[in-house]
Amino acid sequence: MRAAYISGYGGAGQVEVGEQPLPHVSSGDVRIAMKAASVNPIDWKTVKGDLKALFKPPFPLMLGSDGAGVVESVGVGVSEFQVGDEVYFRCHKLNTGTFAEYFTLPAELVALKPQNMTFEQAASIPLVGLTVMQALSEKGGMQAGAKVLIHAGAGGVGTFAIQYAKACGAYVATTASKKRNDLLHELGADEIIDYHSQNIEDKLADYDIVLDTLGESVHAASYKTLKKGGVLVTVLGIPDNDTIAEYNANFVVKLVARLHNRKMQKRAAKYGAVYKHHLMYASGAQLTEIATLIEAGKIKAVIDSTYPLDQVQSAFERSMTGRAQGKIIIRTA
């Protein structure tokens, strides 16, 4: 089968597309004939070697971490899916390779594709959808009526987060440039802060949750928008201690993580707030919940651009600019 992979770390130019073995189907697995997959920052960060302190995968390293397609084969013990089912999914962190013609993974990580979405649209959802659901609902404790600030509302995570928060009954503010206002209002944003000319701490107050997709540079201002006990959840930077432990990282990495997280928690406490880091985990059950929201018309896909499999390099370069409005898609078939 044709697939995108790297034989060593480097820039987007390291990405190759060529023949790789067809993935084996073990007990409990499904093999999917891929139709589309999405580009996420974790993909090109992996290519650059940014994650090698956490894990050292063997080369060639297959690329791509979520997608959509048609069930082509089912392993022993799988009863919830059958050949021909249209599905979407996010794979395990250490089992990547969705930029390919076929991909195999445990059935428990797979969900039926929303019926009102194309494969390209469905492929845009899993990683960002799970990230947002888990960050806002599990880590942030979001409830109906909550006030939520979402940074970078026009990005891949932001466009989903606005819709998900609104679907859950939250009041949503977001940051973006003025040229994104029409899109963000269409997605449901109640308030839009132009980061070029406005300061969030001057415009917003008494918020319950901040979803950070930009990094530490926005933390101080973000804490000033939170009410006492409010939560800042970041999806960037060094993971929390429990997540680091899952990767069996070495002592030095664990020590750095502990010191970093202690510092971040102390900084939050100065503002009477709570700091939490979230690294998404795969879940077919949660994707089924997300599909229900999509089929009810509460969430739609926002796609920036689509590339064929042999242009993964170009797709990565587009993603690395940080200017994408919505998700970047790889068409695998």
In a domain, 189, yes or no: yes
Q: Helix crossing, 312-320 with 41-48: angle to 10°? A: 100
pLDDT score of 127: 97
Checking if the pLDDT of 55 tops 80, the result is: no
Closest CA to 188 of 148, 228, 221: 148
Q: What CATH number corresponds to the domain at position 145?
A: 3.40.50.720
270, containing H or E segment: helix 251-270
34, containing H or E segment: strand 29-39
Indicate if 113 and 199 belong to the same structural domain.
no
Indicate if 11 and 82 belong to the same structural domain.
yes
Indicate if 36 and 70 belong to the same structural domain.
yes
48, containing H or E segment: helix 41-48
In a domain, 289, yes or no: no
Q: What CATH number corresponds to the domain at position 39?
A: 3.90.180.10
Q: Quote the mean pLDDT of the chain.
A: 95
In a domain, 180, yes or no: yes
pLDDT score of 118: 98
pLDDT score of 239: 86
147-203 confidence digits (pLDDT tens) = 999 999 999 999 999 999 999 999 999 999 999 999 999 999 999 999 999 999 999
Angle at 226 between CA 224 and CA 227, to 5 degrees: 115
Residue 54's alpha-carbon distances to 4, 57, 94, 252, 260, in angstroms, are 22, 10, 10, 11, 15
In a domain, 87, yes or no: yes
3-state secondary structure of 331: strand
Cβ partners under 8 Å of residue 119, min gap 6 = 35, 36, 68, 69, 86, 113
219-260 confidence digits (pLDDT tens) = 999 999 999 999 999 999 888 888 887 777 778 888 888 999
Indicate if 13 and 101 belong to the same structural domain.
yes
Domain that holds residue 47: 2-125+301-331
pLDDT score of 54: 74
Indicate if 133 and 91 belong to the same structural domain.
no
Amino acid sitting at position 84: G
